[in-house]
Chain A
């Protein structure tokens, strides 16, 4: 079973601060996705990266896929209370499996 490890597990910051969340694996993934989940709801896709070294930006969020396609990071600039939630990375593999990391719970205080 391919594992994805996310760090940190919990993060509490003040509004306006920057943060980075990491997603690491010893396995190579054909693609990697980041989701955000609100309490009591299913995760919603933020971005998909497929090429080693790829960088994607979504407003204040910057996503990067490692050169070897084994790791990824999510950087948030000037965090806002609306960014609060559970952030999950997920790796796509052969056989149509989608494996999720343990999640990073982010709280942004006003």
Chain B
């Protein structure tokens, strides 16, 4: 069976510090990978998605970057955090399918607070 791991679960970082959130998927190959950010009680904002190693698409200009160094590893980074980067970050994967209707499976999320 497939599983997705995301860590850490919570993180408190000072303004100006770097960030690295990691997400790994097990039990599948060549997944489509996504990073979302969610404000409290609201919908998910797509930040980055990747269809393969080294292939990153960015949806919004921001203080963040993403990398996919391995097929099942997706990393969200920042060189200098801003207060506005606080939020709930979710990693997700979907099967690579031409049908475009595959279910998205989410990690448990990372609650980031920038102080």
Residues of A that sit less than 8 Å from B by CB:
1, 4, 6, 30-31, 33, 35, 40-45, 48, 50, 86, 88, 90, 92-103, 105
Contact = CB atoms under 8 A, between A and B. Distances in A.
Given A33-B101, A96-B49, 5 more contacts: A45-B104, A50-B101, A92-B102, A96-B100, A100-B36
B101 A42 contact: no
Contacts of B94: 96, 98
Contact of B44 (A45, A88, A94): A88
Contact of A96 (B45, B51, B90, B107): B51
Nearest to A50: B101
Interface residues of B, number: 29
Given A40-B109, A42-B92, A99 B46 contact: yes
Contact of A31 (B36, B49, B90, B100): B100
A97 B43 contact: no
A42 B100 contact: no
A92 B45 CA distance: 14
A90 B38 CA distance: 14
Given A41-B109, A42-B90, A42-B109, A100 B103 contact: no
Contacts of A98: 34, 46, 49, 92, 94, 104
